[in-house]
Amino acid sequence: MSKKSMFTKIAATLGATALAGVTLTACGDSSGGGEGLLASIEGGTVTIGTKFDQPGLGLRNPDNSMSGLDVDVAEYVVNSIADDQGWEHPTIEWRESPSAQRETLIQNGEVDMIAATYSINAGRSESVNFGGPYLLTHQALLVRQDDDRIQTLEDLADGLILCSVTGSTPAQKVKDVLPGVQLQEYDTYSSCVEALNQGNVDAMTTDATILFGYSQQYEGEFRVVEMEKDGAPFTNEYYGIGLKKDDTEATDAINAALERMYADGSFQRLLTENLGEDSVVVEEGTPGDLSFLDAS
């Protein structure tokens, strides 16, 4: 299959994904989980928010099934809590949760919890509780496999074009340290990936987890370049599971489930299955330890 044909096929799949997300959102408005996470698990139906358009993390497939690391972690957590309480595994209803809507969905009781590349920060922690973090990732670059010009962040200073999503924090962080970088912004990560594949940009940047997902989807086409500043990772992004503010009991239950997920080897297995062997740069989190917020 030619690259043009491949991306035409992928675009059609993502279009169907977006349509499916709209349908589920419409249904979710009337069935969201306003009773709290534990009550919903006990009641037999849980509404979980995630992304629908991020390969390897949260993706709604053409057959309406869900796949990705965030999806698998969320399912593990919910079923583990049910096992601890002696309840049946609940039915899971998935709700598309774009980044800008996550706090609102939780506060309105439209979802019971959200696992959607949800970085824990001080501002968000004022509005919702976080279980986790369940992983630590860093900002990185995605480049074409056959392009050896980019091996470090500083290589972007040589007149190369960097792509990211319009208004994104990762793009701004690069511009802060490399003011001369040429920045090309698109509305979606998938548009950046297509532009990168076609040679219209030289690299794209966001969390390494997201980039590993695309690298895994387009096997052999891209590679992930780690970014450092003064010998340390360029950024630290701690992914958590968002839920209703001050629901301490459910937060503790999530953290206990995450600890079990590490102990029985499930996390490393799910990480490799979804993001590939090279994703070892993505680290386990320390559930319940939010001390990093004090330094932010």
- For 85-104, letters b (16+ CB in 10 Å) and e give eeeeebebbbbbbeeebbbe
pTM equals 0.83
Question: What is residue 229's predicted lDDT score, i.e. its pLDDT?
Answer: 83
Structure tokens at 51: 């992304």
Rounded CA-CA distance 239/241 in Å is 7
CB 212 within 8 A of CB 57: no
Secondary structure element (H or E) that encloses residue 292, with its range: none
Cis check for the bond before 133: say yes or no (omega within 30 of 0).
yes
* Domains of the chain as residue ranges with CATH: 3-136+238-295 (3.40.190.10), 139-233 (3.40.190.10)
Question: What is residue 27's predicted lDDT score, i.e. its pLDDT?
Answer: 38
Q: Which residues contact 88 (CB under 8 A, 6 or more apart)?
A: 44, 82
Question: What is residue 17's predicted lDDT score, i.e. its pLDDT?
Answer: 40
CB 112 within 8 A of CB 33: yes
- The pLDDT tens digits along the chain (296 residues) read 444 444 434 444 444 443 333 334 333 443 445 579 999 999 999 999 999 999 999 999 999 999 999 999 999 999 999 999 999 999 999 999 988 899 999 999 999 999 999 999 999 999 999 999 999 999 999 999 999 999 998 898 878 999 988 877 787 788 888 888 898 988 888 899 999 999 999 999 999 999 999 999 998 999 999 998 888 888 899 999 999 999 999 999 999 999 999 999 999 999 999 999 888 889 999 999 999 998 76
Question: What is residue 46's predicted lDDT score, i.e. its pLDDT?
Answer: 98
CB 213 within 8 A of CB 270: no
